[in-house]
């Protein structure tokens, strides 16, 4: 836990100017600007309002005073790492947050080292860990193997921004020395991993996938990076993300789907998903604000976890939406996701939203201990890939699970609540917009960030707050819908317009596990999702593991990257 001095020092390391310069009065600016009644009349249309001429006259003094206030605020350097003084809390007042903590119980794999070590490239962490734990493989050997695959296949996938060779070999040698000395750190000890390049790693560039930041170096490790190092994991690469966490286009190209190089990998955790599925890393860390773990996991066949909002500190990660951003693992199995989450969750004294809530992983928990539902109307929708989702339900019925029908609230304008993300993202990159450097971004379409940031400047503050009040109502309705349910199955993009379940659960902060549940005729993966109650990440992962134990979709590998 950090004290006040360390807390402020962290923001300094993340780019905060040492001195906050006083605001310059608007009157001193060379070119004075003033709101007139005519301007106000036009502006009312943007806000969907209409005032009388008399009302406009009374408003002018306050509006022009606001312009002076805006000018003063804009004189204060505000790095991306500085959080607002308004904090989102996913747990409603009547929620009981779990307090009981139990030991980690993972699957104990019986493994034998293959003659060609590269054959383990697609093994899950549970098996890689067994190789390390039994002394059959050293971390240096694993690290060299994955670095070799990153060099060979990374350019084809367009999935790597920076190889962290020197750091990786130092960490691997340290992991091996610790192991020889009897200091085994747990299931991630010696396992190579990749970081989405919105996570700061000391002395390496953190580009956010975007042209304006290609040379940015943040001299502090993100909390997740530090915690994984403490767990003995080895950082081998910083992986691609769609520029400023949108899509799969980054400043160097477009990250590809390992199953079909003509397709993008989707995003924005593009490189994290693609590199994991292609066997270039043991696991990866990505982030989700509105689909950035679910979407690339679906496209590439990775197993992804979007944790409960607040489980994982975002300190040292690029901020896009302070009330919606989540960091989570992309792996080759649901249990791998559990092992990674066990290492990275909890309060750190920097991210004010991060909480320490027990994460109790038990790989052998009986499914009969859990109340498992399914999003009935979403499964009944006519859509592409319905047959795969129906087959998923059948798997659980064969496992003896009596699925409970669940219906999510559908009376709220979920699509309209996207203004929350738009407003926060525009604030996070306000300086980029006002400086004109947004023109450096490769993507300049109506739906890409530069235009979205500009458009969001026209969202009234009142409407932003009203949207958040509706969000509270959605949270209450979601809570009621999940009463008596621990986990429910859903098509990853089910729930009607706006991909209702995906948008709703990102707004409410519920955890989601997304795993492959089939392959199309073209040979590309499709997915299903498991939604847990708040802080019910372990239960959602356990149900996903049961599905993966009964199927083989997550064990298939893309032929283009086979050993």
* Residues catalogued as catalytic: 196, 268, 292
Q: In sequence order, what are the beta bridge partners of 175?
A: none
Dist CA 548 CA 302 (whole Å): 12
Dist CA 503 CA 294 (whole Å): 11
Q: In sequence order, what are the beta bridge partners of 253?
A: 250
Label residue 364 left, alpha or beta by phi (over 0 means left) and psi (-120 to 50 means alpha): alpha
Dist CA 10 CA 16 (whole Å): 9
Dist CA 491 CA 506 (whole Å): 15
| H-assigned helices in 278-358 | 294-300, 334-344
Dist CA 475 CA 508 (whole Å): 5
Structure tokens at 164: 């962290």
Degrees to nearest 5, angle at CA 216 with 210 and 220: 125
Q: Are 126 and 336 in contact (CB under 8 A)?
A: yes
Dist CA 286 CA 215 (whole Å): 21
Dist CA 208 CA 270 (whole Å): 12
Q: What is the DSSP letter of 380?
A: H
Name the phi and psi angles at 515, rounded to 5.
Answer: -140, 155
């Amino acid at each position: 836990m950090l004290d006040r001095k360390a807390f402020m020092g962290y923001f300094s390391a993340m780019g905060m100017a040492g001195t906050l310069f006083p605001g310059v009065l608007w009157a001193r600016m060379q070119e004075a600007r003033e709101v007139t009644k005519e301007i106000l009349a036009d502006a009312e249309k943007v806000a969907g309002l209409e005032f009388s001429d008399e009302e406009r006259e009374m408003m002018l003094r306050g509006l022009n005073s606001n312009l002076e206030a805006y000018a003063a605020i804009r004189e204060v350097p505000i790095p991306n790492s500085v959080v607002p003084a308004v904090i989102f809390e996913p747990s409603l007042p009547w929620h009981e947050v779990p307090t009981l903590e139990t030991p980690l119980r993972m699957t104990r794999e019986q493994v034998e080292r293959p003659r060609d070590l590269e054959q383990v490239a697609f093994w899950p962490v549970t098996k890689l860990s067994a190789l390390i734990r039994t002394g059959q493989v050293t971390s240096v050997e694993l690290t060299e193997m994955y670095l070799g695959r990153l060099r060979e296949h990374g350019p084809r996938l367009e999935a790597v921004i920076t190889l962290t060779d020197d750091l990786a070999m130092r960490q691997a040698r340290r992991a091996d020395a610790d192991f020889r000395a009897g200091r085994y750190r747990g299931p991630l000890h010696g396992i190579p991993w990749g970081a989405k390049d919105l996570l700061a790693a000391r002395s390496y560039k953190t580009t956010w996938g975007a042209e304006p930041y290609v040379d940015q170096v943040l001299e502090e490790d993100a909390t997740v990076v530090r915690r994984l190092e403490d767990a003995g994991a080895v950082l081998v690469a910083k992986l691609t993300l769609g520029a400023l966490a949108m899509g799969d286009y980054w400043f160097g190209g477009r990250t590809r789907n390992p199953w079909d190089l003509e397709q993008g990998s989707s995003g924005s955790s593009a490189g994290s998903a693609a590199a994991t599925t292609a066997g270039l890393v043991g696991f990866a860390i990505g982030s989700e604000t509105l689909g950035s773990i679910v979407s690339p996991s679906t496209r590439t066949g990775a197993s992804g976890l979007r944790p409960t909002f607040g489980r994982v500190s975002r300190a040292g990660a690029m901020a896009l939406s302070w009330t919606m951003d989540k960091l989570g693992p992309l792996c080759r199995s649901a249990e791998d996701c559990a092992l990674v989450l066990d290492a990275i969750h909890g309060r750190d004294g920097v991210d004010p939203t991060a909480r320490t809530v027990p994460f109790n992983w038990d790989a052998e928990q009986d499914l009969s201990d859990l109340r498992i539902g399914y999003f009935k109307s979403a499964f009944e929708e006519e859509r592409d890939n319905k047959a795969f989702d129906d087959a998923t339900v059948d798997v659980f019925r064969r496992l003896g699970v009596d699925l409970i029908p669940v219906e999510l609230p559908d009376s709220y304008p979920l699509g309209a609540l996207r203004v929350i993300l738009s407003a926060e993202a525009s604030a996070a990159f306000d300086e980029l917009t006002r400086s004109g450097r947004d023109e450096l971004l490769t993507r300049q379409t109506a739906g890409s960030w530069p235009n979205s940031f500009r458009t969001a400047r026209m969202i009234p503050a009142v409407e932003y707050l009203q949207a958040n009040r509706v969000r509270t109502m959605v949270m209450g309705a979601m809570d009621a819908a999940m009463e008596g349910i621990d986990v429910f199955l859903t098509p990853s993009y089910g729930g009607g317009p706006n991909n209702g379940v995906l948008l709703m659960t990102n707004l409410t902060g519920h955890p989601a596990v997304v795993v492959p549940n089939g392959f199309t005729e073209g040979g590309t993966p499709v997915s299903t999702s498991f939604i847990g109650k708040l802080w019910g990440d372990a239960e959602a992962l356990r149900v996903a593991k049961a599905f993966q134990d009964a199927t083989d979709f997550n064990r298939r590998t893309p032929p283009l990257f086979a050993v």
